[in-house]
Every structure is written in structure tokens, then in C-alpha cells.
Chains A and B, each alone.
Chain A
């Protein structure tokens, strides 16, 4: 069997979108993901048969779509989701990566993790309950972690008689609160994950709603790396020095363009040293490029033999942050052992690692009231404002301006565990 080549090219490739779903167990989050996978025909027959069998064994009448996202033995035993799981589906025009974060007590840690790589977050609101403390908490976290697009999915519309008035009331409540937080890019839609209305298919019950379905929203949303007006940032990961006869003087800086674009001939500055030179060559594998842009992993050759290594950051000459040894950041604590002034930490920022000390813990966020409260430390799932002193300077942007160069993780030097996630202010 052979296929004409154009079948493989078309339809047009809209790239890849990463999104996360937020909501508690009762909001129907797992059901929504199951519905998306089922209605985009992404669940294969043997997987579907397996969850049908399990549903029957548990005495359920309908197939429990949430079983698709419970991966681990312990999760199935306990009936809860423990960890962030990744799911994949494709519509033929776009590939999707779902980071599904569980909704139990470790929620903040898991949601921050899942949101850190998301282009979009779907936040589920139960139509019967409206905007809850939890809705506000999830919105705050999605906003803090800088998820570019937020979709408020008012679920379980089937249980409120598909009422437009209920939907409008939730929308008004949410808008009032979102404005205070400064959340701008937010879309609303009514749906029923259980019945499928407005997820992939429009269904028969929500005629009054004229906007796009959830899938249409996902298909339209721009991927984060497609933003064109962000300054060029290139953390050096590895230096390529072949030391062979054929490539005697070759010296390539391997890394990923984290934002912006760079072209052959551009003047670049190396941070923290401040040395300036030009881009002599750009390549991806054995292909020479004229230009490279955000999310591309390339190799850069510079016009001058200057001292550059892993941990350095290339920016365009005349731009870029001043390297600093003191940072103020919002830190989400991920470990059962609290953040302590007396413990030794390592901060990993882009490709650079440096020892760090806590200078000050200014306050933490009361995630129920969304207010600042005094704090001596940060416990698991706390988010607070922390000042750090670093052993070596880092070239950091404000997280709000650049997720890649504004983020860091905190590693406990004794255990080597990742214990904190930082967003520079």
C-alpha cells in the first residue's frame, strides 16, 4: 500500500500546544480530559476496552472516562491521582500535550509544576457552585506562573438545565475578581464534560451560546513560543569543540533560543562577562540557517574567540539584564522540609547553577483569602516572597517579561531534591 505524498503534508501543521487542566476531583476534570480524548478519537480500542472492564468491575453503569488518567498502582488502589500525568492527542492540524495535575492536598505544588510549561490553562467551574475559593486560588496560581491564556470552562451545565442565566452570573462574578488580579486573556464557555456538549461537538442543548467549542479554542490559541516581540535570549548549554583535523578550529555554542530571534551578522553580548561579538554562523545539525527563533535548538558560532561556556547567556548587544547576585522572587515551596534560612541551597537558573542563601522571607500568600500574611518560612505548598543572595551573578529577567530567563528552581544541597520554584520579580 502506498500513499500519495500530499496526504502526509496536509492538513496544515499548527504546531504544538501544551495545556493544563485545573479543578478538583468533583469538578469533572478527569472526565473532561477523557471526553476530549474520546471525541477526538484519540483513545484506542484496547485502552477503551480496559476502562470498560474496570468500570463494570466497580459496578458503574457508564464508562468512567476519568480512569484514563489514573496511571499508577497506588492511584488505582486509593482512587486518587497522585502525580502530574501527561496525555497526548492530535487533531491532524495540531498536537496537544496535556499536563494533568491532581486535585488533592498537594495541589499547589502539582499545579505550579503543570502550569510552568503550559501555553493555556483550562479552569473548571462547577455550574452549580459558581466561583469558589478554589477557583480564585487556581486563577491566582495560573496568573502567577504566567500561563498566557486562561479558559474558564463552566462544567455540568446539564445539572443546571443548560441555563444561560447561570452561566452569565458566573461570568460576571469571575470578571469582577479577575480584574483585581490583573488577569486579562480569559475566555469563558459553558459545557458538559459528561454529555460532551461544547467540548468537541456543539451538542443540542446550548444553542444560546455562540462562541467556539473548547476544541476550537484550543485550535486557535497561539503557542507561547510564537510571540514575536520578546528580546533574544540564548543560554549556552554545551560547547562543541570537535578537536578533529576536519574541524580543527570549530567552536560552536549549543543551546536553545528561549525567546526572540537571532540572525547571522547580529551583534551579541555574553552575560555575565559583557563581552561583545557577532554571530558568524548558525546551524541546526548540518543545515546552515540565516536566522533562528524562539524554541529552536541550534548551534551558534561567534566571530571572535572569546571566553564563553555553559551557564553564560547570549543577548543582543545593547540589550539584556544586568547580572546580579541578589534576587527577589515569588517562591512556591515543593518540599515537606520547609524553606529555612539555615539550610544550604543551590539555585538553577537557565543553564547556570549557583549556591544561594535566603536573605529574607517577606510574606507568604494566604491562598484562601489571597492576602499577604507574615511568614518565617515556607512550608510545602506555600507561596511567598523571598529574597536570595547568590554566590555567583545571574543574568535574569523579570518572570513577567520572560518565563525562561525569569524562572529558577531551588535544590537542597544535602538531598539534591528540587524543593522550590522561583519566579523573579
Chain B
């Protein structure tokens, strides 16, 4: 065999091609998939990838947002605008409704709602009969995710069983399920936070403004900065400061902390991300810090 080589694809081109392949496998194998779109940077990348996978046709799936009711208004507005620009159908189901229906019981009114999204998501899956949910989760985000498949099987209760996952070989994905079961598909599994930002830069993707440095009243709580909002008032004795911050992830207001930063452009964020010393969730997700296993626990309960 001759060893003539040509230039390899750049790492972003390779990751993009893999993600498009995964999206098309979902379209080819599943009869009623849905793409989870939150208005966050990872799912914004998914939408660009879906355009490259399926245009000029419409996406072979609607978009679904499981709304915690604890979102920054900028993100919700962005979500609606982006879906409209793409001309794709957006379904919103809210944790608020699950609370009103008595399916979610809060232990206190301002409890973080990330965990409760599972209930609303499983109800939406049942309501629409979705057989697959496409999500923007990445393996580098968290230890339990590092072991998850690209096509991840969930039983009829939406549960992930880490000890009985389907082996995943080559790029031969197995999306076969029985009625009531579900596949979660993760096209950007192999991307890191830096890859996402580099892709955002390369593709010129628009993001909600809170990803970029802005001035915001915050309090220091432990190692984190907590934004001061109606949902997250300062506690007794805490000093409110106005700092230049940006969000690395966008989630439930009550448990998503910004980082101090002056990076106001995508390029500046790429540069900051390349030299950061703290992981994305370590810096910003207070709910993952309760225990080493909290993400794993949530996923077993049906979380994406």
C-alpha cells in the first residue's frame, strides 16, 4: 500500500462533519425526533450544524425548549427570534406548568429548576411521541458525560443506565427502540468548550448578549459570583458590587454564575477560553457541586 497522504481536515472541519453525520443518522433512523434548543451556545451550534445537514429542506424535526421559568429575558427573546429566522417550529413546554399541575413539587419557591426539567421533558416526549431528542451535551463538560454514548438509550422511564449502555463501534449508531423508549443523540459529544467558541467565531454565529462582557450587580458567594436578580436577591450581609462579567453557560438563573471578564467579542472569549484555569461547570454551575455524582444522578432520572 502506498502511503501517499493529503492534508487532513482541520479539527473544526472534522468535528463539524462528524456532527452532521450524527444529525443525519437521527433523521435516517428515527421517525419522530426533536432538537432541544435552549438559546445557549451549544444548541446554537446545533442549529448551524442542522442547516448544513439538511438545507435547502426544512429540518426533519421541530425544536423544543424546556423552559425552567428561570431564564434571562435576553436568552428567551433570542430563542424565539432565532427559531423564527430559521423558519422552524419551536415548541416550548415549561416547568412552571408542571409545577401548577402538581407534577413538580418545589422544596422552596426559589429552588433551582434544572433537575425538574426532566419531568417536563419526559411529559413533552410522551405528549408528542418523540422517539429521539437531539441535545448539545458535550463529553468534556462533566465526568458522567465522558462515558455517555453519542446515541444514548433511555428506558420507558427516561432513565440512563450507565452500566448497561449499548456498545458504540465505528460510526454505526443503533437507534432501535421499543415503543415508549427513547434515544438521546449528542452530535457535539466530542467538542470541547474551546471548540464551541472557535466554531462560533468561524461561523460568525450570533449569541445572546449575556455571553459577552457586560456590567452586572453581583455578590461573592463562596468562590462564585452570584448575579443579583429578582430571583436571586442578596443575602443578609452580602455586599453588592457591579462588575464586568460574562456567562460561560446559560441556564437556570438561580444556579448559573457568571465569571469576571472583559471579553466583549467572540475572539476575546476564544483567547480567554484557551488559557482558562477553571472548567466550565466548575466556574458556573452551582448545582453540579452538591456532590461528585449530581450530574450522573440527574441523568438517571431522565435529564438530558
Contact = CB atoms under 8 A, between A and B. Distances in A.
B53 interface: yes
Given A72-B162, A285-B51, A416 B174 contact: yes
Contact of B167 (A228, A349, A418): A418
Contact of B176 (A82, A246, A416): A416
B8 to A, nearest CB: 4
B277 A45 contact: yes
Contact of A242 (B1, B56, B147): B56
Contacts of A113: 167-169
Contact of B147 (A71, A90, A254): A71
B23 to A, nearest CB: 9
Nearest to B223: A46
A409 B14 contact: no
A416 B55 CA distance: 31
A82 B163 CA distance: 7
Given A95-B11, A116-B169, A44 B278 contact: yes
A88 B24 contact: no
A286 interface: yes
A247 interface: yes
Nearest to A222: B5
A40 interface: no
B100 interface: no
Interface string A348-382: 11110000000000000000000000000000000
B268 A1 contact: yes
Nearest to B168: A113
Contacts of B276: 44
A14 B10 CA distance: 6
Interface string A1-45: 111010110000111100000000000000000000000000011
A407 B268 contact: no
Interface string A293-313: 101110000000000001000
Nearest to B267: A3
Contacts of B278: 44-46
B281 to A, nearest CB: 9
Contacts of B260: none
Contacts of B236: none
A393 to B, nearest CB: 18
B271 A3 contact: yes
A72 B5 contact: no
A74 B279 contact: no
Given A1-B268, A72-B147, A254 B54 contact: yes
Contacts of A47: 279, 282
Nearest to B166: A418
Given A86-B139, A88-B190, A16 B15 contact: yes
Contacts of A14: 8
Contacts of B174: 348, 409, 411, 416-418
A14 B11 CA distance: 7
A240 interface: yes
A86 B170 contact: no
A96 B24 CA distance: 24
A85 B170 contact: no
A292 to B, nearest CB: 10
B144 A72 contact: yes
A125 interface: no
Contact of B277 (A44, A88, A334): A44
Interface string B21-42: 1001101100000000000000
A13 B194 CA distance: 14
Contacts of A50: 292
Given A15-B14, A46-B282, A416-B177, A242 B172 contact: no
Contacts of B57: 240-243, 247, 250
Interface in B175-215: 176-178, 189-190, 192, 194-195, 198, 201
| Residue of B2, B8, B190, B270 with most partner-chain A CB within 10 A | B8
A73 B262 contact: no
| Residue of A47, A82, A95, A247 with most partner-chain B CB within 10 A | A95
A226 interface: yes
A310 B28 contact: yes
| Residue of B60, B163, B276 with most partner-chain A CB within 10 A | B163
B143 interface: yes
Contacts of A252: 56
Interface in A256-270: 256
Interface in B245-304: 262-265, 267-268, 270-272, 276-279, 282-283, 292-293, 296
B9 interface: yes
A403 interface: yes
Interface in A42-80: 44-47, 50, 70-74, 76
A297 B172 contact: no
A94 interface: yes
Contacts of B91: none
A254 to B, nearest CB: 5
B165 A83 contact: yes
A351 B28 contact: yes
B30 to A, nearest CB: 11
B14 to A, nearest CB: 5
B17 interface: yes
Given A16-B15, A109-B167, A240-B57, A227 B5 contact: yes
Contacts of A7: 271
Contacts of B56: 240, 242, 244, 246-247, 250, 252
B140 interface: yes
| Residue of B9, B277, B296 with most partner-chain A CB within 10 A | B9
Given A250-B56, A416-B177, A418-B166, A226 B8 contact: yes
9 contacts: A5-B267, A70-B143, A73-B293, A73-B296, A86-B190, A90-B194, A116-B169, A228-B6, A421-B169
Given A238-B28, A240-B55, A256-B17, 4 more contacts: A8-B267, A82-B163, A222-B8, A285-B55
